[in-house]
Structure 1
Amino acid sequence: MEAGWSIRKAGVEDLDELIRLRLALLRSTREVERFEDEEALVAKTRRYLERAIPEGRFHAWVAEAEGRLVASSGIMPFERPPVPGNMAGLEMHILNMYTEPGWRGRGIARALFTELMRFSREQGAGRIWLHATDEGRPLYESVGFKPNPTALEWTPPEGA
């Protein structure tokens, strides 16, 4: 345990807390107190994690302090055809990096991120990517992540 907290890999037994921390992240990045259809979001997230964690499609690490979870992180492995620079074709998408405000500035996010990077290297990932908040960007840049302005994103229209 470091400075009153410890890091461990999360499992399905942590679903309630993983969802709570994910909602806190989403609320903070979207600047809302509550989502219009939050109950459905929680239910669908639970169903996803119940399948994805045991199947190895989603991995999470958490920080525990004072008997509860105060931070979380997640990573999703996926494969694509090999390309120059990633002949393995294995990529990792980092997401759900969140630390409760009262626990920030203690090295928790860096410790979680270190676990994600260790896992990615062990799996042989040729590319690791993420979407960063302004607050999180210095951590990622400090270990060599660089912006990639070439991606485009499509979202289906409401109701589609």
Structure 2
Amino acid sequence: MQPRKASTADIAELIRLRAVALETLGTDPGPTDAPWRRIAHNWFDERINRRDDYVCLVVGGDPGGPLHACGMAWVTYHLPGPRWPDGRRGYLDGIVTDAPARGRGHARRIVDELVGWLHGAGIHYVQLHASEAGKPVYEAAGFVTGRYPGMDLITAPPTR
């Protein structure tokens, strides 16, 4: 199956696959009425319908039907420099394959098409964060460990 662009009808399945990814990474996604899911619905809706610097690809049947896999790419904006004069980079995220559909090349096809979309936009510096399970897919697509180590700062949200 070839990837296609996600539509509004796919949002519920995109959220379900996000929960699959969270579980795979050891995070409990919570119940189906968890607040993050409503926020995610609005997040996907805005990006699918109103942004031209974002694309979400899915593998599955018709819009609104069950999905096997998904992945997203968007443009990030950074300071210009000699190698990347406009400062734009691509970022891949949310690449997940539902457990019963793994091992069929869905993620690899999605990654290839996302990179192609970014290249078509003139972006040739693409970044992502890889899980151990996803690392072989990205390496097969030509990704290498970044030059600079990643660092995170997570602060506590304000108490109410």
Please say whether Structure 1 and Structure 2 have the same fold, judged by a TM-score greater than 0.5.
Answer: yes
CA RMSD of aligned residues (A): 2.2
1:28-107 alignment, distance < 5 Å = 28-32=24-28, 34-35=29-30, 39-56=34-51, 57-65=53-61, 68-107=66-105
Q: Structure 2 residue aligned with 1:9, among 5, 11, 18?
A: 5
Deviation readout 1:27-78 (Å, 9 max, x if unpaired): 211253x437961010111111221222225321000159521111011212
TM-score (norm 1): 0.85
Q: Aligned residue for 1:144?
A: 142
Change (3 A) 1:65 1:52: closer
Count of residue pairs brought into register by the alignment = 155
Q: Distance in 2 between matches of 1:97 and 1:103?
A: 13
Q: Which runs of 5+ in 2 are unaligned?
A: none
Q: Distance in 2 between matches of 1:104 and 1:15?
A: 21
Q: Which runs of 5+ in 1 are unaligned?
A: none
CA deviation after TM superposition for structure 1 residue 123, in Å: 0.8
Change (3 A) 1:13 1:137: same
Q: Aligned residue for 1:25?
A: 21
Q: Is the 8 A contact 1:85 1:126 kept in 2?
A: no
Change (3 A) 1:126 1:83: farther
Q: Give the secondary-structure state (helix, strand or coil) at the position aligned to 1:24.
A: helix
